Amino acid sequence: MIVLDVETTGVDPELNSVAHILSRGGEMPIQNGKSDLDSDKVMKYVGIPTEPRPHKAINGALWETEAFSRLALGRNCLPEFKQYPLPDSF
Beta-strand ranges (E) seen in the chain are 30-31, 34-35
Give the pLDDT confidence score for residue 54 in this predicted structure: 93
* pLDDT attached to residue 87: 87
pLDDT at 22: 62
User: What parts of the chain have a pLDDT lower than 70?
Assistant: 1-14, 16-29, 35, 90
The residues, any chain, with a CB within 8 Å of residue 41's CB and separated by 6 or more, are 16
CA–CA separation, 81 vs 76, rounded Å? 7
CA angle (51 as vertex; 46, 52 as ends), nearest 5: 150
Which pLDDT does position 78 carry in this prediction? 97
